[in-house]
Amino acid sequence: MALEALKGVKTIQQIAKDYDVHPAQVAEWKKTMAVGAAGVFAPGAGKTETEQFEHERAQLHAKIGQQAVELDWLTKKSKQLGL
């Protein structure tokens, strides 16, 4: 119903009458659909919670690796400069 209301082919009153619901409810569903529909197409929207966790974990491991390399480089350079 919310998708029908968003399409605009029928009025909210017509949709409400067809499905035997109150027009205010159809309007609320339409509003909710308009606000939340973008989240369906957001990156990671189709992933399960475990997949999202694993992706985040991989990103954090990559960050740790990057920081370890930077720390080693800074340690080496500070020794070369006598600091």
**pLDDT tens, residue by residue, 28-73:** 988 888 888 777 677 666 678 888 889 899 999 999 999 999 999 9
Instruction: Return d(Cα 59, Cα 63) in angstroms, integer.
Output: 6
Its sign, for the CA torsion 11, 29, 37, 4, is negative
Do 7 and 41 have their domain in common? yes
| Count of domains observed in the chain | 2
User: What is the pLDDT at residue 78?
Assistant: 95
User: What is the pLDDT at residue 22?
Assistant: 92
Do 62 and 26 have their domain in common? no
Do 55 and 25 have their domain in common? no
pTM: 0.48
Task: Look up residue 60 and give its two tokens.
Answer: 């954090």
Find the domain containing 60 and state its range: 47-83
User: What is the pLDDT at residue 45?
Assistant: 64
